[in-house]
């Protein structure tokens, strides 16, 4: 294992992924960030911003440092947020909401506190309250922007949150689509980023030509977005011309409209990545005319409020064999922290491969026949390249965005006080499928993951749809979608027909 790790790091250095290598050494990365702060980074930042628009510095000056009063308030707000985070860690979310109420009375103009309040409702699966408080946060931002004359700049910024986690980088796809479709609010968007803190710099690099951007260092960006929080777009919400909407609705709107106009994907592989990627496939033994499917099964996060998305990779082995039996290859995506796969014919455990590097991730997502994933960041990225996705073990089916030639296979839930699993409608009337938490106060429930047979049938369904080139929803799928919409769910990703056939109770009233 140690030898393979050394070989992988040498491969990353030799093949142009210094940033990926650097991310393994947090102290060195922090040192480079500190040096950047001392090297006139802020002056360069303002120079770049002024090239885009000189209105901003004319309106507010050129400093990211808060005044003493704002700094004191920010410190006190952070104390409140610290206590709230501690309560959430103890699964005392009702007490956390009470602390939010007290904090709002003390600091009614804190955007950060209001946004955190919305997220606590999300953790509890309180979807309507999440939307309501998020809308309140957006209105507060509008008021503060007017009070500070920041609305006159006609600018909005996307900070560190958009370029860190993998799934967040993929959200840039919807920002660009909504802008090009003339659905995003009229302000000009500027992405602020530090490549050293991006989970996949190669993916981010593909988006950069599509959006105004300023490269700086993570600390300076953090200071800037804290000081000017009223004109900073946060990841969970998108501001459209019609008002603020949650990210799943925004992605759904973008993808539906983009598909209707038959537009090409926002990003595509560079010739360089394609050539290098093909050489790696050849090294692995794939023939030049081989096709493959990528699979990413989330298994790493064991926090109670983030564990619902996890699944067991071993239950996917029959699904992998189904793909191989049809003449394909399977390439397992992920990180070396994941459980290693046993040796299987025509299956590549890329998560543990020497050649694991950010640009190869991008190549595999873009070139796969389709992707198999759970509802995590690994399921979002293939869609940016137009790669169909089966979103298996889909836990949060209260919100799931449409994408062409894709469908989900939901998890089932059973209340411990009941003998049978809940139907779609029954589940949507609980907090469970509206969030990512395995813990809810006053609710005891069991999580029923997709069976190996569910997964095999989903793969067969995908192949059949490819063969017939039929991606229309069946009557049963339309019925399931109508149930979802009647219960307030958002997004148009259909439920797998094979799943509905095997679990007919799921769509019964």
Q: What is the pLDDT of residue 468?
A: 97
The closest alpha carbon to 407, from 356, 461, 336, belongs to 461
Mention every residue, 6+ apart, whose C-beta is less than 8 A from residue 326: 463
| Cα separations in angstroms, 373 against 330, 389, 447, 462 | 13, 7, 18, 13
CB-CB contact of 306 with 437 (8 Å)? yes
Q: Which residues of the chain have pLDDT under 50?
A: 302, 304-305
Mention every residue, 6+ apart, whose C-beta is less than 8 A from residue 309: 298, 301, 374, 375, 376, 393, 395, 396, 436
Q: What is the pLDDT of residue 436?
A: 82
126-143 as b/e: b if 16+ CB within 10 A: bbebbbebbbbbbebbee
Q: Token digits for 45?
A: 């930042």
Q: Domain 282-507 in CATH: superfamily?
A: Glycogen Phosphorylase B; (3.40.50.2000)
Q: In Å, how far from its chain's centre is CA 360?
A: 19
CB-CB contact of 148 with 60 (8 Å)? yes
Q: Token digits for 128?
A: 């309507």
User: Coil, strand or helix: which one is 23?
Assistant: coil
User: Which strands sit side by side in the sheet containing 213-215, from one edge to the other?
Assistant: 213-215, 188-193, 155-158, 232-233
Q: What is the pLDDT of residue 321?
A: 99
Element (H, E) at 280: helix 271-284
User: Coil, strand or helix: which one is 11?
Assistant: helix
Max Cα distance, the chain (Å): 67
User: Where do runs of H (alpha helix) occur along 312-376?
Assistant: 317-325, 358-367
Q: Domain 40-260 in CATH: superfamily?
A: Tetratricopeptide repeat domain (1.25.40.10)
| Cα separations in angstroms, 339 against 295, 347, 349, 468 | 14, 15, 10, 36
The closest alpha carbon to 372, from 413, 331, 328, 337, belongs to 331
Mention every residue, 6+ apart, whose C-beta is less than 8 A from residue 57: 46, 49, 50
In whole angstroms, give the CA distance from residue 154 to residue 156. 7
The closest alpha carbon to 74, from 112, 104, 42, 39, belongs to 112
CB-CB contact of 280 with 316 (8 Å)? no
| Cα separations in angstroms, 395 against 13, 167, 378, 398, 399 | 38, 16, 15, 9, 10
The reply to whether 282-507 shares the fold of 40-260 is no
Give the side-chain half-sphere CA count within 13 A for 217.
19
Where are the domains positioned within the chain? 40-260, 282-507
Q: Which residues pair with 446 in a beta bridge?
A: 414
- Could you please report the per-residue DSSP string of 159-214? -GGGTSSHHHHHTHHHHHHHHHTT-B-SSEEEEEE-GGG-S-HHHHHHHGGGS-EE
Q: Token digits for 192?
A: 């602020």
CB-CB contact of 36 with 217 (8 Å)? yes
pTM for this model (two decimals) = 0.91
């Amino acid at each position: 294992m140690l030898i393979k790790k050394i070989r992988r790091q040498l491969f990353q250095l030799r093949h142009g992924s210094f940033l990926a290598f650097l991310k393994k050494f947090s102290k060195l990365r922090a040192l480079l960030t500190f040096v950047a702060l001392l090297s006139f980074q802020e002056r360069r930042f303002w120079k770049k911003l002024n090239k885009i628009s000189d209105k901003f510095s004319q309106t507010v000056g050129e400093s990211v440092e808060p005044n003493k009063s704002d700094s004191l308030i920010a410190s006190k707000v952070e104390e409140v947020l610290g206590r709230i985070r501690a309560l959430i860690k103890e699964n005392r979310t009702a007490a956390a909401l009470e602390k939010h109420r007290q904090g709002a009375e003390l600091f009614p103009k804190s955007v950060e506190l209001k946004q955190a309040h919305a997220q606590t409702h999300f953790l509890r699966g309180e979807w309507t309250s999440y939307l309501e408080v998020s809308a309140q946060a957006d209105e507060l931002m509008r008021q503060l922007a007017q009070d500070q004359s920041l609305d006159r700049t006609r600018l909005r910024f996307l900070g560190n949150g958009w370029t860190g986690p993998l799934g967040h980088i993929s959200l840039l796809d919807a920002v660009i689509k909504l802008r090009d479709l003339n659905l995003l609010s009229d302000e000009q968007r500027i992405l602020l980023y530090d490549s050293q803190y991006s989970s996949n710099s190669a993916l981010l690099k593909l988006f950069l030509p599509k959006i105004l951007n300023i490269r700086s260092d993570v600390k300076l960006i953090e200071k800037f977005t804290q000081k000017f929080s009223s004109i900073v777009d946060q990841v969970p919400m998108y501001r459209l011309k019609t008002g603020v909407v949650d990210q799943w609705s925004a992605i759904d709107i973008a993808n539906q409209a983009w598909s209707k106009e038959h537009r090409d994907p926002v990003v595509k592989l560079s010739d360089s990545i394609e050539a290098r990627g093909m050489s790696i496939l050849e090294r692995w033994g794939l023939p030049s005319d081989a096709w493959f499917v990528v699979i990413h099964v989330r298994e790493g996060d064991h926090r109670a409020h983030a564990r619902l998305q996890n699944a067991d990779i071993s239950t996917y082995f029959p699904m992998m064999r189904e793909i191989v039996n049809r003449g394909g290859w399977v390439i397992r995506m992920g990180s070396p922290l994941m459980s290693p796969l046993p040796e299987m014919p025509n299956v590549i455990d890329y998560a543990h491969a020497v050649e694991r590097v950010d640009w190869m991730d991008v190549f595999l997502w873009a070139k796969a026949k389709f992707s198999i994933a759970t509802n995590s960041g690994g399921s979002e990225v293939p869609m940016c390249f137009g790669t169909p996705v089966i979103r298996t073990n889909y836990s949060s089916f209260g919100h799931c965005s449409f994408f062409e030639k894709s469908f989900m296979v939901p998890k089932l839930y059973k209340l411990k006080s009941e003998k049978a699993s809940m139907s779609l409608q029954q589940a949507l009337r609980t907090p469970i499928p509206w969030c990512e938490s395995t813990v809810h106060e006053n609710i005891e429930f069991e999580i029923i993951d997709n069976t190996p047979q569910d997964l095999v049938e989903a793969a067969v369904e995908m192949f059949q749809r490819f063969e017939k080139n039929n991606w229309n929803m069946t009557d049963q799928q339309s019925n399931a979608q109508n149930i979802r919409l009647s219960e307030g769910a958002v997004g148009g990703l259909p439920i797998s027909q094979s799943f509905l056939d095997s679990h007919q109770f799921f769509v019964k009233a």
